[in-house]
């Protein structure tokens, strides 16, 4: 009886282990391609794993791209373009969008983040400031080697397109082309409308029309939020 009881306990332990493991991995989202390749985001107990299985069955993965604090409903894959998939991570303040190619090896095509700002356009409630990683940073990355911190480091980003936005801080000082010397006058105040025309290392180049002339200067990125 002791032998049977021992085997019974071992069997229960194995079943319990398998059950716990099965419950620890949940498919957050999945995209199947016509060639049989599959993109999937797996949700573990305390992390997410972005995985790609090519048509030959070879697996690639990365469990550092998606942070554990994101809600599953704000994380999804979009296969709108042929031969590529977009991983969208919608956080409260920023939205991160990473595009990967399918095929034999999943390569990173682009990495951008969209930041919501108050819009200067009457027909729009918000303006989307889009900053993208420089091509020199993304061109050699695959899914497995994608480094999210490197991609969105302040000195590796560039402005995608000009937008008009409203100053959010009470007082915003302007900087010249060297981005070091603060100009005490003029300065911008909350509610002023500016056009963002460039980005460089946590600073924004803006165009502002005063009553007498157009001013072009640099401001700290955080001052415009």
Separation of alpha carbons 126 and 81, rounded Å: 26
Say which residue the tokens 């400031």 belong to: 129
Query: What per-residue confidence (pLDDT) applies to 211?
Result: 78
Q: What angle do CA 222, 168, 223 make, to 5 degrees?
A: 20
CA distances from 45 to 20, 35, 49, 69, 185 (A): 10, 31, 11, 12, 53
Separation of alpha carbons 74 and 41, rounded Å: 12
SS3 state of residue 8: helix
Q: What is the pLDDT along the chain (225 residues), one digit of tens a residue?
A: 455 554 444 444 444 444 444 445 778 889 999 999 999 999 988 889 999 999 999 999 999 999 888 887 899 999 977 889 999 999 988 999 999 999 999 999 999 999 988 777 765 667 899 999 999 999 999 999 999 999 999 999 999 999 998 888 888 989 988 787 676 677 898 889 999 999 999 999 999 988 788 889 999 888 877
Among candidates 132, 194, 204, which has minimal Cα distance to 164?
194
User: Is the pTM for the entire model greater than 0.85?
Assistant: no
Query: What per-residue confidence (pLDDT) applies to 154?
Result: 94
DSSP letters for 57-69? --EEEESSSS-TT
């Amino acid at each position: 009886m002791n032998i049977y009881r021992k085997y019974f306990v071992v069997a229960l332990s194995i079943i319990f282990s398998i059950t716990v493991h099965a419950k620890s991995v949940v498919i957050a989202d999945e995209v199947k391609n016509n060639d049989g390749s599959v993109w999937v985001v797996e949700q573990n107990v305390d992390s997410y794993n972005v995985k790609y299985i090519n048509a030959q069955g070879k697996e690639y993965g990365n469990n550092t791209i998606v942070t554990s604090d994101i809600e599953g409903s704000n994380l999804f894959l979009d296969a709108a373009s042929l031969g590529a998939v977009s991983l969208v991570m919608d956080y409260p303040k920023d939205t991160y969008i990473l595009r990967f190619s399918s095929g034999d090896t999943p390569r990173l095509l682009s990495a951008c983040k969209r930041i919501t700002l108050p819009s200067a356009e009457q027909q729009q409630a918000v303006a989307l400031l889009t900053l993208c990683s420089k091509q020199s940073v993304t061109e050699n990355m695959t899914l497995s080697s994608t480094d999210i911190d490197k991609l969105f480091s302040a000195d590796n980003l560039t402005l995608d397109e000009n937008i008009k936005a409203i100053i959010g801080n009470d007082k915003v000082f302007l900087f010249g082309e060297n981005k070091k010397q603060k100009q005490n006058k003029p300065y911008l105040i909350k509610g002023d409308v500016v056009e963002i025309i460039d980005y460089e290392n946590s600073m924004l180049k803006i165009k502002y029309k005063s009553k007498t002339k157009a001013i072009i200067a640099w401001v700290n990125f955080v001052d415009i939020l």
